[in-house]
Amino acid sequence: MIVTLIVICEVGFWVLLAAGLATRYLLKMPRTGMALLLCEPLLEVLLLVVTAIDLKNGADPSWKHGLAALYIGYTVGHGHRTVKWLDGHAAHRFGGAPRPPKPPQYGMARARHEGAVWLGSAVAAAVASGLLLLAAWYVGDDGDTEGLYGWIFVAWRAAGIHGLIALSYAIWPKKAPVNDSAVPARDPEHVPDLLVRRTRKDEEQV
């Protein structure tokens, strides 16, 4: 049941997102569209409540409960950025707004961008860990909570790998490609001064 609900929440996330953006820009109803977008967190609340009820009814903590915690954490950490990115492109495509700027691709600007994205992964791991600890406390000593603690390790391992990738952009900044078509600069002494040459021609004619 938990896995089915996770799938429903994932599908519902994209359905509400599409409906909210279409209502906001195609139907020209911004308030209704925003209301639909604000309904998305309710899906995560529903998943959290059902997971707690499942544990309360005596279900043994399993990978399904851990997966639910990770899904909620990911939505908290990255959901807002995803919605903002899609909203910006929808506003440009259907609302006449300027094209959203692309993320930086090179140098320390790219490193800072990757670091900001990693912060979302860290928030996701923290939220998932908090939910898993609450679930373990809720179950108590009578249940098998080792699986829940194992998912905490999974959450922070994923955040750690992402952090190393983000850090690599700061240690080895990505350089912009060199434009091969550009004409290489030459020594000024070997570049004829057109003004000087034109003056000399005028003097010879006189």
Highest mean predicted confidence (pLDDT) among 51-60, 78-87, 177-186, 196-205: 78-87
Write the pLDDT tens digit of every residue in 13-26: 999 999 999 999 99
Kindly give, in sequence order, each residue whose CB lies less than 8 Å from that of residue 71, ignoring residues fewer than 6 positions away: 6, 9, 10, 44, 47
pLDDT tens digits, 142-192 = 666 788 889 999 999 999 999 999 999 999 988 888 764 444 444 444 444
Instruction: Categorize the per-residue pLDDT at 88 as very low, low, confident or very high, splitting at 50, 70 and 90.
Output: very high
Per-residue pLDDT band for 140 (boundaries 50, 70, 90) equals confident
Q: How many CB atoms lie within 10 A of CB 70?
A: 23
